[in-house]
């Protein structure tokens, strides 16, 4: 049985496996290949061993004298003829396995293996577990054409390659590596589960041709854009939690998926937006579960009503904006007319002002004339008075002169 620690450590691994063995079809595949193995021994590969048996054939093809050989007792092999577990054995390389040509499940997890090798003899192998090793390159798998499950999580792999002959793969687990590009998987037309969690992928693409893919795990990467999901006709579960997705526009292809029912995007910048859940639900009509929360029909109706309301408000705002723009346009188009009217009004006002000025100036002229006439009459009166005074003075002078001449005549 798997320990709780192992179960927790594998939460990012896929949840189900359908192999060729009928008794294992309903078991989680992380429990397969874990039958307790007793009586496993090892010894250095001798020259004599290298000349005998199937293991010797594999050794002559792939190994050399001095390499380590793993063998089981006849009783143990008879009890479990198709599976072998060598987890936590401190292995630094894949050993030669003596007399194990009928293996279908092989477990090398929790070792320190750096290179995949010595597997050419296992043409019946359907389950290979190399989880938690130090492998930096996918290689040495060309002869495993019947392989259905390949577990390479928690290694040091930086590039997806070396899978060209594995066209029967059903589950591929590459989580916890250093992969930066999702590539070289288009030919895996029978692959149902792909686990690439905890890598360094930034853009999801190159998924065309994966017609059977039902589960894609991309949690804890550096993803900001998603493409090609709408080209996966069987995809039902997609995990995008804890990535760098900023907006719905960057993952809009999710809304075009014909089958996607479960989605997680918690832990992304998008999930922190106020309308995140409504936006995703309205954009994905087939979604049944978002961030491990069920999407009910009632919630979908409420979201649809809210979206219609927002659309109506936006439309009304757009119409008012259009009316405002039309008013502005009409005002702009009427500016020459208004300008002409203003000029005409200015001219009429100027005329009226001039007329009023002229009218007001006429009384002033009459007053001025009156003033001038009055002034003239006043001047005439003054002149007449001066004339009278002058005449009086002349008369007085004449009288004085006559009086003076009379007095002078009396004296004489």
Residue 329 lies in a domain: no
8 Å CB contact between 194 and 213: yes
DSSP 33: T
**Greater pLDDT, 119 or 35:** 119
8 Å CB contact between 142 and 163: no
**Greater pLDDT, 100 or 51:** 100
pLDDT in the model for residue 365: 41
pLDDT in the model for residue 43: 54
Residue 404 lies in a domain: no
Q: How far is CA 359 from CA 329, 353, 355, in A?
A: 44, 10, 6
Query: Which pLDDT band holds residue 71 (cuts at 50, 70, 90)?
Result: confident
Query: Which pLDDT band holds residue 219 (cuts at 50, 70, 90)?
Result: very high
Query: Which pLDDT band holds residue 404 (cuts at 50, 70, 90)?
Result: low
Give the pLDDT mean for 351-366.
48
CA atoms within 13 A on the CB side of 328: 6
What CATH number corresponds to the domain at position 91? 3.80.10.10
pLDDT in the model for residue 309: 84
Please say if the pLDDT value at position 387 is more than 60. no
Range of the domain at 244: 83-309
- In the chain, the number of structural domains is 1
Residue 57 lies in a domain: no
Residue 350 lies in a domain: no
Give the pLDDT mean for 135-156.
97
Give this prediction's pTM.
0.66
8 Å CB contact between 213 and 235: yes
pLDDT in the model for residue 86: 94
Please say if the pLDDT value at position 14 is more than 70. no
Residue 196 lies in a domain: yes
Interval 245-289: pLDDT, tens = 999 999 999 999 999 999 999 999 999 999 999 999 999 999 999
Report helix, strand and coil shares of the chain as percent, to nearest 5.
Answer: 40, 10, 50
**Greater pLDDT, 69 or 364:** 69
- Residue of 143, 140, 107, 147 lying closest to 125 (CA atoms): 147
pLDDT in the model for residue 399: 64
Give the percent of the chain with pLDDT over 70: 60
The position carrying tokens 């004296």 is 411
pLDDT in the model for residue 307: 83
Give the pLDDT mean for 380-404.
53
Q: What's the CA gap between 331 and 346, in Å, rounded?
A: 20
Give the pLDDT mean for 198-218.
97
Give the pLDDT mean for 42-46.
51
Q: What's the CA gap between 23 and 31, in Å, rounded?
A: 13
Query: Which pLDDT band holds residue 377 (cuts at 50, 70, 90)?
Result: very low
Which residues pair with residue 225 across a beta bridge?
203
Give the pLDDT mean for 350-355.
53
pLDDT in the model for residue 159: 97
Which residues pair with residue 217 across a beta bridge?
195, 239
Residue 225 lies in a domain: yes
Q: What's the CA gap between 8 and 30, in Å, rounded?
A: 11
Give the percent of the chain with pLDDT over 90: 54
Residue 139 lies in a domain: yes
Strand pairing report for 289-290 and 293-294: antiparallel
Q: What's the CA gap between 254 and 238, in Å, rounded?
A: 10
Q: What's the CA gap between 150 and 175, in Å, rounded?
A: 12
Under 8 Å CB-to-CB from 176, ≥6 apart: which residues? 12, 153, 154, 155, 197, 198, 199
Give the pLDDT mean for 321-337.
50
Average pLDDT of the chain is 76
Q: What's the CA gap between 50 and 28, in Å, rounded?
A: 38
Residue 393 lies in a domain: no
Q: What's the CA gap between 113 and 67, in Å, rounded?
A: 14
State whether residue 110 is helix, strand or coil. Answer: coil
């Amino acid at each position: 049985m798997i320990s709780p620690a192992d179960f927790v450590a594998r939460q990012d691994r896929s949840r189900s496996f359908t192999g060729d063995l009928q008794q294992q079809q309903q078991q989680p595949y992380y429990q397969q290949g874990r039958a307790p193995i007793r009586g496993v021994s090892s010894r250095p590969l001798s020259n004599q061993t290298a000349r005998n048996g199937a293991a010797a054939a594999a050794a002559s093809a792939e190994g050399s004298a001095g390499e380590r050989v793993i063998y089981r007792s006849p009783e143990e092999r008879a009890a479990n003829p198709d599976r072998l577990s060598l987890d936590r054995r401190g292995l630094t390389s894949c050993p030669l396995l003596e007399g194990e040509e009928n293996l279908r499940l092989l477990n090398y997890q929790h070792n320190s293996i750096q290179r995949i090798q010595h597997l050419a003899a296992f043409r019946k192998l359907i389950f290979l577990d190399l989880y938690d090793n130090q492998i930096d390159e996918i290689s040495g798998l060309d002869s495993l054409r019947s392989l259905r499950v390949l577990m390479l999580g928690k290694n040091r792999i930086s590039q997806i390659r070396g899978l060209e002959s594995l066209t029967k793969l059903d589950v591929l687990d590459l989580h916890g590596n250093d992969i930066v590009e999702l590539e070289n998987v288009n030919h895996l037309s029978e692959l149902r589960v792909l686990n690439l969690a905890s890598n360094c992928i930034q853009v999801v693409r190159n998924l065309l041709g994966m017609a059977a893919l039902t589960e894609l795990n991309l949690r804890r990467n550096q993803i900001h854009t998603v493409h090609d999901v709408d080209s996966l006709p069987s995809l039902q579960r997609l995990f995008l939690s804890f990535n760098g997705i900023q907006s719905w526009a960057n993952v809009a292809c999710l809304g075009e998926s014909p089958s996607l029912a479960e989605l997680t995007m918690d832990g992304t910048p998008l999930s922190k937006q106020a309308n995140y859940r409504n936006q995703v639900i309205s954009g994905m009509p087939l979604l049944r579960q978002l961030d491990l929360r069920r999407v009910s029909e009632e919630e979908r109706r409420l979201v649809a009503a809210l979206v219609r309301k927002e659309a109506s408000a936006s439309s009304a705002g757009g119409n008012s904006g259009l009316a405002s723009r039309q008013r502005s346009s009409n005002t702009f188009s009427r500016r020459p007319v208004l300008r002409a009217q203003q000029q005409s009004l200015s001219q009429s006002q100027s005329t009226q002002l001039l007329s009023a000025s002229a009218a007001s100036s006429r009384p002033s002229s009459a007053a001025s004339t009156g003033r001038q006439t009055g002034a003239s009459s006043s001047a005439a009166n003054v002149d007449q008075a001066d004339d009278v005074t002058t005449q009086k003075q002349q008369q007085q002078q004449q009288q004085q002169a006559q009086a003076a001449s009379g007095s002078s005549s009396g004296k004489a």
